[in-house]
Amino acid sequence: MKNNEVLIIGGGLAGLTVAIHLSKLGLQVTVIEKNSYPKHKVCGEYISNEVLPYLNWLDLNIADLNPTNITNLEFSTASGKTIKSVLPLGGFGISRFSLDEYLYKKALENGCKIIHDNVENIVFENNQFIVTTTNNNSILKSEIVIGAFGKRSNVDQKMNRDFINKKSYWLAVKAHYSGDFPNDVVGLHNFKGGYCGVSKVENQAINICYLADYETFKKYKNIEEYQNSVVSENPHLRVIFEKSSLLFEKPLTISQISFEKKQAVENHILMIGDTAGLIHPLCGNGMAMAIHSAKIASELVHKYYTNEIKSRKELEEKYIHEWNLNFKKRLKTGRFLSSILQKPKLSAVLMRILIIFPFLLPIIIKKTHGKPIILKS
């Protein structure tokens, strides 16, 4: 007989969303998260409106957090050539500092158990997981484990996942700034060796988050020198940095970011969010994908516990199918666009095409975004 307990490793955007969903359906949920709330994270902090129907179904009123309403995209190449477009669905800007804490409180309200600890070991035997934590030396058992431990984690290393053994050359930098930037615009600006997202979040803060080629970055003494010498070669970014003041004590960074393909299921763990696959930031839709993947996993796990799905094998196969159906093409498009933008001649050709045929840009945007998520009651 199946029990109704689910263990989630990672309490970020995807992990908390799946916890809220499953607890709403009456399952017992435990989340292991190493950090306390609230906490700033390296993230673009833009979410496509495709997830709003689903968030409403989860009884999450995002409007309470005063997000910005984003309706327009401004895109530029490294030389500063610019094209603008209306976002087909639109989106909103909200900091992970506010959003994750809001989801955390909702999960607690729903009866979820949150353990602040690191995972020491995961063993799967006799159709159940045995998970050991580091600090409290807790031993947790569950038939289902969902992996939501982010872009890169010590859990990935412990599992010896393929992507973790391949060197990655990407570094991400993020900070909030005060300054003059439109509330309704998300900017995606290319520069030599990387690209940068700019948009407003709550409280009039400007979120600037960029991905940098580490080989280029390491030639400079610090982030400020790199920004002044490389990132600001794009004239749009130069103006933004010149007219903005840093709100953080210093920018946040994460290194070894991998865009290698990841498996949606490994060692029988259902992977969601960035743990299952990371879309290039220039596509600006990683947060929506994380939320959507939580929905897919939640629905299938619930069907497993209500015996609509009969076996673990069927559960895993259905999850892999659904994940690929919804996200495989988006990730492929992201990798393709990234490869073009890292080649100045090709990006110049792309820009000329978009200027001549501006209707193509919304089509490209749709390739990296999904349709509005509707969940049947």
d(CA 207, CA 199): 5
Q: What's the pLDDT score for residue 282?
A: 57
Q: b/e per residue, 37-52, with b = 16+ CB within 10 A?
A: beebbbbbbbbbbbbb
Q: What's the pLDDT score for residue 170?
A: 85
CATH of the domain at 157: 3.50.50.60
Do the beta carbons of residue 95 and residue 45 sit within 8 Å? Answer: yes
Q: What's the pLDDT score for residue 177?
A: 98
Q: What is the mean pLDDT of the chain?
A: 89
In-domain check, residue 32: yes
Between 375 and 62, whose confidence is greater? Answer: 62
What are the tens digits of pLDDT across the range 289-332?
999 999 999 999 999 999 999 999 999 999 999 999 988 887 77
Report whether pLDDT(57) > 90: yes
In-domain check, residue 338: yes
Do the beta carbons of residue 35 and residue 53 sit within 8 Å? Answer: no
280 — pLDDT class (breaks 50, 70, 90): low
Between 149 and 338, whose confidence is greater? Answer: 149
What are the tens digits of pLDDT across the range 118-148?
999 999 999 899 999 998 778 999 999 999 9
pLDDT, mean of residues 253-277: 88
Q: What's the pLDDT score for residue 1?
A: 43
Report whether pLDDT(204) > 50: yes
Report whether pLDDT(2) > 70: no
What are the tens digits of pLDDT across the range 59-98?
999 999 999 999 999 988 888 888 888 888 899 999 999 9
d(CA 140, CA 28): 13
Instruction: Please identify which residue in the block is written with the tokens 């991400």.
Output: 172
Q: What's the pLDDT score for residue 261?
A: 81
Tally of domains in the chain: 1
Report whether pLDDT(371) > 80: no
Q: What's the pLDDT score for residue 218?
A: 87
27 — pLDDT class (breaks 50, 70, 90): very high
Q: What's the pLDDT score for residue 175?
A: 97
Q: Does the pTM of the predicted model rise above 0.85? A: yes
Range of the domain at 280: 5-167+258-368
Q: What's the pLDDT score for residue 344?
A: 66
In-domain check, residue 192: no
What are the tens digits of pLDDT across the range 96-111?
999 999 999 999 999 9
180 — pLDDT class (breaks 50, 70, 90): very high
Give the other-Cβ count within 10 Å of 161's Cβ. 22
Report whether pLDDT(182) > 70: yes
In-domain check, residue 207: no
- Strand ranges, E, within the chain: 5-9, 28-33, 46-48, 68-76, 82-93, 113-116, 119-125, 128-133, 139-142, 144-147, 170-179, 185-191, 194-200, 206-213, 244-246, 252-257, 265-266, 269-271
3-state helix, strand, coil in the chain (%, to 5): 40, 30, 30
User: What is the dihedral sign for C-alpha 256, 294, 159, 6?
Assistant: positive
In-domain check, residue 362: yes
In-domain check, residue 230: no
In-domain check, residue 107: yes
What proportion of the chain, given as a percentage, has pLDDT over 90? 61
In-domain check, residue 42: yes
